[in-house]
Structure 1
Amino acid sequence: MAPPSPIWSRVSILLARLIFAAVFAMAMSFKFLGINDTAAFIGAANLPAPLLLAWAAAFFELALVLCFLSGAFFTEASLAAAAYVLFLGIVFHGPAHWNGSQTEFGFFVDHFTFIAGLLFAAAHGPGDLLALENFRLINFGAHQK
């Protein structure tokens, strides 16, 4: 059995989970508080059923927040979040939006740095601090990925 990771490493993983949760919690709250505005934004991108998609996005982000906070289904949530962020980057900030707008290109590129973090998280797991595995709290230092 490998020795436990240093505390700075374990705390860093927990902080990353909290950052992911906070980002999706903010996005989720904006959607729930302004669902019609979100639907209008989605409709402007010519996606079908914008109100339905706005509600689906808000609840999907809620599920991501719960997974990142608890560590449950962490790898699956990280991969799903990466795919979601890629979709959002392409649809709302992709090449069709770059004409004369370096800002949109910057938003597009920013999505890829977020995706890189999510993929790294998916590969390394939720760590062993305050993480659920099969709905059991993992013992500190006992779980190694």
Structure 2
Amino acid sequence: MDASEPSWRSIAILIGRIIFAAVFIMAVSFKFLGMGDTAGYIAAAGFPAPLLLAWLAAILECALAICFLTGAFFSEAALVAAAYVLFLAFAFHGPSHWAGNQAEFGFFVDHFSFIAGLLFAAVNGPGRLLAVSRTVIGRS
């Protein structure tokens, strides 16, 4: 974004970054407050080494929150987050869960609106307010 970006747009982008960060901060908080419960949920979905996977998810979510808050590696983080959310949608709310609980279909679909926002953010970047200019994939 250039210096002539309207203030309202800069503020909207910053608020979006804060919302993305808040979602991952909430998720990682639940993990840290109940890592055993998270591991149980992962085990119930049929994944091996559930405690290890719970810790890896917590580390990833911390890293994503930091990237969203600082703007550093923002586009890369948004793409990783989109892939992660897609995985979560299928692994924990996918078609195999719909027969037992119709609400799971709604949870599944909700993930896609989040993915859409993450993809849009990845393309448009972190804005110019409170953003560290670090990237690997570059922007045109």
By the TM > 0.5 criterion, same fold? yes
Q: TM-score normalized by structure 1?
A: 0.90
Mapped partners of 1:116, 1:134: distance in 2 = 23
Runs of 4+ with >2 A deviation: none
Q: TM-score normalized by structure 2?
A: 0.93
- The alignment status of 1:92 with 2:119, answered yes or no, reads no
Mapped partners of 2:124, 2:25: distance in 1 = 22
Which deviations, in whole Å up to 9, do the C-alpha atoms of 1:58-89 show, x marking residues without a partner? 01000001000000000000000000000000
Alignment of 1:9-88 (within 5 A): 9-88=9-88
Mapped partners of 1:82, 1:32: distance in 2 = 22
For residue 106 of structure 1, report the CA deviation from its aligned partner: 0.1
Which deviations, in whole Å up to 9, do the C-alpha atoms of 1:11-65 show, x marking residues without a partner? 0000000000000000001001100000000000001110000000001000001
- The higher-RCO structure (CA 8 Å, 6+ apart) is 2
State the match for 2:115 in structure 1. 115
C-alpha RMSD over aligned residues: 1.6
Bigger Rg over Cα: 1
Q: Which runs of 5+ in 2 are unaligned?
A: none
Percent identity for Structure 1 against Structure 2: 65
Mapped partners of 1:114, 1:39: distance in 2 = 24
Mapped partners of 2:128, 2:65: distance in 1 = 18
State the match for 1:127 in structure 2. 127
**Aligned with 1:101: secondary structure?**
coil
For residue 101 of structure 1, report the CA deviation from its aligned partner: 2.4
Q: Which runs of 5+ in 1 are unaligned?
A: 136-143
For residue 3 of structure 1, report the CA deviation from its aligned partner: 6.2
